[in-house]
Amino acid sequence: MRAKILIVDDDRDILLGLENRIAWMGHEPVTADNGKDGLRLIEQGDFDLVLLDLELPGLSGLEVLERVRGASHSDRQTNRDISPSFGTPLIIILTAFGTIERAVQAMQLGAFNFLTKPFSADHLTVVLNKALSTIALHRQVNVLRQEIDDRHDHLIGVNAEMAAQLTIAKQAAPSNVTVLLLGETGTGKEVVARAIHRWSPRHSKPFVAVNCAALPEQLLENELFGHEKGSFTGAVKREPGKIEMAEDGTMLLDEIGDMPLPLQSRLLRVLQDQTFYRVGGTQPIHTNVRFIAATNKNLRRAIQQGTFREDLYYRLAVISLTLPPLRERIDDIPALAQHLIDRAVGIVIQRPCTLSDPALQALQQYRWPGNIRELDNVLTRALILCAGDSIEPAHLYLADSPFPSSTETETASEPRLYHESMEAHSRKVIEEALRRNGWNQTRASEELGLQRTYLTKLLRQKDISGKQPSSTGSEEDAP
Ligand SMILES: Nc1ncnc2c1ncn2[C@@H]1O[C@H](COP(=O)(O)OP(=O)(O)OP(=O)(O)O)[C@@H](O)[C@H]1O
Ligand SMILES: [Mg+2]
């Protein structure tokens, strides 16, 4: 990369030498021979890196550093985060031989590195390249962060129910209370969790999401709490967990309903005491993290079934928000569709494209079992498949909803009477056995542990066809 580098030194020879060397390395040097000019240039310019002499007339190098990094004496004492942030240049201190303790002081104030004068050209090159690769890394992280933010920072919610939930989210954001986000898959739980973080005083600190359904128990434990060196085979060094990475920020415990019970107890302790132990650790670690949990599971039912701790539920659900499914917020579909198309144009296709009125109507009539994520997929596919500049209904390929949505399944099964649900369940068991055995009734009856004749009787009783749907009727032992 070609970097813009400011050199601040009152020694003209050093200034000239460094300027030539940096230009020779292919970078853009700018010079200042006193602290005041240096500070002004830093404030005005977009430098990647500053080489800053400590001994300067007027404003000293340390004072310049202090103002640039905004680090006060008290910060040093409390050892607050003074790592370089994006937007301010990295600073390399130039210090005379024998003033090492001042260089240390400068490092404590947030300088990236130091060079003791006189230094060789090779030493300069090594230190510069190290700084430049750090800058490149920062940029990469920022591009990636921006990409994630672009996916999650846009929050559409004019629908009355959604707007009401967002109002509560905004009220809860400034405090540290735990928020539980409920809603079907793809309804925007992560989007809302990130918004709560953005609206909170923690917004400049990390937002870390952990998917509790993605990992088996031990890996998830390690992911959350980290481990000490030697705590298990392969633990060759100490690794912090995600909770430590989210320090001072917000942690989203996604799919919390799938967290194994032993980890639920450990999490409860973190929420109660704000302390935890790394795997294999003996020292408690104090933590300052705001927790948000999300799930599409029915946690009350999970409590009844013994798969979710009731005490954890009440700890998490200090404020509980339920995001409405997309089919209940069709008034949001025009804005959501427009946003999703805008987001995809330029990435998926390189030409403008609009949504026709009939296509919008079709979107508003569909039932959206996969909610906004499904809407996103449908529109992305339509953008790819439509050759022109307008998405028509034919490009949407909206089938009749093949699956009932998660709440439909739940609410449909909830009010069922005992005999009704047993009947439905036994039909399902028989049909699945038939399907698994290629509609061969002899094999299905063996698998079910039933007499072949009894299965035939059940099929008649329950009016199950026993033949493969739309098959040619060639099943060899069909009745
Ligand atoms: N209110 C919104 N405004 C704009 N885009 C949204 C909104 N809600 C969700 N989206 C988009 O819909 C997609 C799914 O959202 P998100 O990942 O937050 O859903 P989720 O509820 O966490 O889903 P899951 O339960 O499957 O984890 C994302 O691409 C997101 O950008
Ligand atoms: Mg999610």
Asked if 193 and 300 sit in the same domain, the reply is yes
Rounded to an integer, the average pLDDT of 37-64 is: 91
Q: Does residue 180 lie in a domain region?
A: yes
pTM > 0.75:
no
Whether residue 478 has pLDDT greater than 90: no
Same domain, 377 and 446: no
Contacts of 276 (CB under 8 A, 6+ apart): 225, 243, 266, 269, 270, 284, 285, 287
- With CA atoms as reference, report the closest residue to 341 among 352, 331, 332: 352
Instruction: Sort 278 into a burial class: Cβ within 10 Å, 0-12 / 13-18 / 19+.
Output: buried
Q: Per-residue pLDDT averaged across 76-101, rounded?
A: 65
Compute, in angstroms, the gap from residue 397 CA to the centroid of ligand 1.
Answer: 21
Judged by its nearest atom, the ligand closest to the C-alpha of residue 189 is 1
State in Å: Cα 175 to ligand 1 middle: 24
The bound ligand whose nearest atom lies closest to the alpha carbon of 209 is 2
Chosen domain end from 396, 430, 450:
396
The answer to which of 86-100, 188-202, 226-240, 413-427 has the lowest mean pLDDT is 413-427
CA neighbor of 156 nearest in space, from 13, 285, 339 = 339
373 alpha carbon – ligand 1 mean position (Å) = 6
In the reported structure, the alpha carbon of residue 451 is separated from the centroid of ligand 2 by a whole-number distance in angstroms of 46
pLDDT at 412: 42
| pLDDT above 70: percentage of residues in the chain | 90
CA angle at 183 for the pair 354 and 194, rounded to the nearest 5°: 70
- 């967990």: which residue's tokens? 241
Higher pLDDT, 348 or 419: 348
Q: Are residues 184 and 314 in the same domain?
A: yes
Give the least confident one: 147-156, 268-277, 447-456: 147-156
Q: Ligand 1: residues within 6 Å at CB?
A: 151-152, 154-157, 183, 185-191, 296, 336, 339, 372-373, 376
Give the rounded percent of residues in the chain with a pLDDT score beyond 90: 60
Which residue puts its alpha carbon closest to atom 28 of ligand 1? 373
What's the mean pLDDT when you consider all of the chain? Answer: 87
Q: Which atom of ligand 1 is nearest to the CA of 194?
A: 18
**Where in the sequence is the domain holding 133, given as residue range(s)?**
4-147
Sort 188 into a burial class: Cβ within 10 Å, 0-12 / 13-18 / 19+: buried
In a domain, 162, yes or no: no
* Pairwise CA distance, residues 478 & 118, whole Å: 94
Q: Report which protein residue has its CA nearest ligand 1's atom 25.
A: 185
Q: Kindly state whether residues 11 and 140 are assigned to the same domain.
A: yes
- CA 394 vs CA 111, 169, 344, 402: distances in Å: 60, 38, 19, 18
Q: Within 10 Å of residue 119's Cβ, how many Cβ atoms? A: 15
Quote the pLDDT of residue 416: 57
73 falls within a domain: yes
Whether 91 contacts 145, CB under 8 Å: no
Q: Say which CATH number the domain at 377 has.
A: 1.10.8.60
Is-contact 206 246, C-beta < 8 A? yes
The Cβ of residue 193 has, within 10 Å, a number of other Cβ atoms equal to 25
Residue 208 parent element (H or E): strand 207-211
Flag whether 14 is in a domain.
yes
410 Cα: distance to centroid of ligand 1 (angstroms): 21
pLDDT-derived band at 267, boundaries 50, 70, 90: very high
Nearest to 430 by CA among 452, 453, 409, 455: 455
Q: Which of 147, 152, 191 to mutate to test the pocket of ligand 1 (most atoms within 8 A of CB)?
A: 191
| Atom from ligand 1 closest to the CA of residue 295 | 25
* 11, 129: one domain: yes
3-class DSSP assignment, residue 246: coil
Distance 154 CA to ligand 1 centre (A): 10
Which pLDDT value is given to residue 102?
85
Give the β-pairing of 290-295 and 179-182: parallel
Q: Give the count of domains, the chain.
A: 4
Same domain, 275 and 316: yes
- Predicted pLDDT of residue 290: 98
Residue 153 has a pLDDT of 75
Name the residue of 190, 207, 210 to mutate for ligand 1: max ligand atoms within 8 A of Cβ.
Answer: 190
The residue whose C-alpha atom lies closest to atom 16 belonging to ligand 1 is 188
pLDDT digits (tens, 9 = 90+) for 430-477: 988 888 888 889 988 988 888 888 898 898 888 888 877 664 433 434
pLDDT band for position 44 (cuts 50, 70, 90): confident
Which residues is 474 bridged to in the sheet?
Answer: none
Task: For residue 225, tell me if it sits in a domain.
Answer: yes
Q: If you measure from the C-alpha of residue 189 to the centroid of ligand 1, how many angstroms do you get, rounded to a whole number?
A: 6
159 in a domain, yes or no?
A: no
With a cut of 80, say whether residue 97 has pLDDT above it: no
Atom of ligand 1 nearest to the CA of 157: 1
- What pLDDT shows up at residue 347? 86
User: In this structure, are residues 312 and 267 in contact, taking their beta carbons and an 8 Å threshold?
Assistant: yes
pLDDT at 409 over 80: no
Residue 403 lies in a domain: no
Ligand found nearest the CA of 333: 1
Tokens 């009783």, residue located: 461
Ligand 1 mutation pick, 372, 375, 380, max ligand atoms within 8 A of CB: 372
Q: In this structure, what is the dihedral angle of CA atoms 139, 141, 143, 147, given to the nearest 10 degrees? A: -170
Same domain, 423 and 448: yes
The rounded Å distance from CA 55 to ligand 1 centre is 54
CA of 322 to the centre of ligand 1 (A): 13
Residue 412 counted as domain residue: no
CB atoms within 10 A of CB 308: 23
Q: What is the pLDDT of residue 470?
A: 61
Q: Same structural domain for residues 185 and 141?
A: no
Count of Cβ atoms closer than 10 Å to residue 15 Cβ: 19
The residue contributing the CA closest to ligand 1 atom 8 is: 188
Is the same domain home to 173 and 315? yes
CATH number of the domain where residue 261 is located:
3.40.50.300
174 and 318 inside one domain: yes
Distance CA 100, CA 180 (A): 52
Where residue 29 sits, what CATH number does that domain have?
Answer: 3.40.50.2300
pLDDT digits (tens, 9 = 90+) for 245-263: 999 999 999 999 999 999 9
Closest by CA position to 152, among listed 223, 52, 254? 254
Render the burial of 157-166: b for 16+ CB within 10 Å, e for the rest.
bebeebeebb
Look at residue 62 and tell me whether its pLDDT is greater than 70: yes
